[in-house]
């Protein structure tokens, strides 16, 4: 019987501020075969390229990113010097070739503009859409939130009594909801914040550490803010800062089906006095920030840009659209129904809200 031709795989990875790494390979009995790593990188001595190819040969196709990089490091001769790339970059190119990792351009992106929902519906929709991307039922999506009423959204692992002042919440008519991602509490009112969620396949961040995934997923935001005259950056782990103060924070959640949620809230015109009444922000929270006042820690976008909130959202949305060729999307009736069911079963219940008392 004639043996079937071995399928060829091709993957590319451009190292940020570095060089292009290309992986051409085949699969034989579920293992890497005929591996050829190439690109416009620099490598000394020439023979080290053979070391890299040999390190990858016969490895199982399901080898993790970390194990691929480790195999290359073990095989490289002591005097090898890699310029413009790394074993981790090679591992990413290999995993992209095999469909284990992906690039922004590999996906059709959608944008859902600001849609008014209750806060409980917003956090429920985050879970619904993340699961949808993980299962393949939805394209990767950027969704902007619209706030209907004053709200506090606490992190998945935060204590209600340690983070929220019950008396102030009742006095100001603030609703409190717990989200599925970690991180800190957020206080929002209609028109005072810009919040968005990214629903992505985990393949997009394959090989990136948690810390590196934050700035990677929000690089388009930094570009958009630059257009608005703001130079912003990530202050590890998850704060977005400028030279005059923090403007936002991010949080993430990875689901078992391969979907991933990354969402950000940026202050537009926050009522800092009310925020400090509603949230319990202690000295330990500020201890590594170099400041003594939580009020001075935040510097809203309205003051920094002088622009309307809607204009800032438009610039950010257009930046994402142009950069990733995104198209307009909508929430389906099935997604809205699924989110409403989650509110009733989970996010709107005291069992979920007080799961950490």
Domain-embedded: residue 245: yes
Q: Quick one: 231 and 110 in the same domain?
A: yes
In whole angstroms, give the CA distance from residue 357 to residue 353. Answer: 8
Domain-embedded: residue 315: yes
Q: Quick one: 21 and 116 in the same domain?
A: no
Total domains, the chain: 2
Q: Quick one: 80 and 186 in the same domain?
A: no
Domain-embedded: residue 1: no
pLDDT in tens, 102-114: 999 999 999 999 9
**At 230, is the pLDDT very low, low, confident or very high (cuts 50, 70, 90)?**
very high
pLDDT in tens, 54-104: 999 999 999 999 999 999 999 999 999 999 999 999 999 999 999 999 999
pLDDT value of position 148: 87
Six-digit token string for 301 = 């976008």
pLDDT of 300 strictly over 60: yes
pLDDT in tens, 2-32: 455 678 999 999 998 899 999 999 999 999 9
- Which residues have C-beta within 8 Å of that of residue 76, sequence separation ≥ 6? 48, 51, 52, 55, 87
pLDDT in tens, 147-159: 889 999 999 999 9
Q: Quick one: 177 and 142 in the same domain?
A: yes
8 Å CB contact between 147 and 188: yes
Whole domain around residue 264: which residue ranges?
104-353
The CATH number given to whatever domain includes residue 79 is 3.30.390.50
**At 283, is the pLDDT very low, low, confident or very high (cuts 50, 70, 90)?**
very low
pLDDT of 293 strictly over 50: no
3-state secondary structure of 16: coil
8 Å CB contact between 247 and 240: yes
Q: Quick one: 74 and 217 in the same domain?
A: no
End residue of a domain, out of 97, 122, 156:
97
End residue of a domain, out of 97, 113, 133:
97
| Consecutive H or E run containing 266 | strand 259-267
End residue of a domain, out of 48, 78, 97:
97
Q: At what angle do helices 219-227 and 210-217 cross, to 10 degrees?
A: 40
Q: Quick one: 262 and 123 in the same domain?
A: yes
Domain-embedded: residue 3: no
Q: Quick one: 275 and 189 in the same domain?
A: yes
Domain-embedded: residue 311: yes
């Amino acid at each position: 019987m004639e043996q079937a031709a071995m399928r060829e795989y091709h993957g590319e990875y451009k190292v940020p501020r570095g060089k292009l790494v290309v992986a051409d390979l085949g699969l034989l009995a579920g293992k890497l075969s005929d591996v050829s790593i190439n690109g416009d990188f620099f490598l000394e001595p020439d023979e080290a390229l053979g070391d890299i190819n040999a390190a990858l040969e016969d490895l199982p196709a399901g080898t993790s990113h970390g194990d691929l990089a480790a195999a290359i490091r073990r095989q490289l001769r002591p005097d090898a010097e890699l310029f413009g790339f790394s074993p981790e970059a090679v591992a990413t190119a290999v995993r992209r070739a095999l469909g284990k990792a992906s690039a922004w351009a590999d996906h059709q992106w959608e944008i859902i503009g600001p849609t008014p929902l209750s806060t409980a519906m917003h956090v429920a929709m985050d879970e619904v859409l993340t699961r949808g991307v993980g299962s393949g039922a939805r394209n990767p999506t950027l969704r902007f939130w619209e706030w209907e009423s004053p709200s506090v959204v606490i992190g998945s692992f935060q204590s209600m009594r340690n983070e929220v002042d019950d008396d102030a919440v009742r006095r100001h008519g603030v609703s409190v909801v717990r989200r599925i991602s970690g991180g800190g509490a957020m206080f929002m009112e209609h028109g005072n914040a810009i919040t968005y969620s990214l629903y992505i396949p985990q393949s997009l961040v394959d090989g990136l550490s948690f810390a590196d995934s934050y700035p990677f997923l929000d690089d388009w935001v930094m570009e958009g803010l630059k257009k608005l005259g703001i130079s912003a950056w990530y202050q590890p782990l998850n704060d977005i800062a400028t030279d005059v103060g923090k403007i936002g924070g991010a949080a993430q959640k990875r689901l078992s089906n391969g979907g991933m949620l990354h969402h950000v809230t940026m202050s537009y015109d926050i009522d800092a006095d009310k925020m400090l009444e509603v949230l319990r922000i202690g000295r330990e929270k500020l201890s590594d920030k170099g400041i003594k006042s939580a009020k001075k820690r935040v510097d809203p976008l309205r003051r920094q840009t002088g622009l309307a909130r809607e204009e800032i959202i438009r610039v950010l949305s257009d930046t994402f659209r142009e950069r990733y060729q995104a198209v307009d999307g909508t929430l389906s009736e099935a997604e809205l129904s699924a989110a409403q069911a989650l509110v009733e079963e989970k996010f709107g219940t005291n069992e979920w809200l007080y799961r950490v008392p």
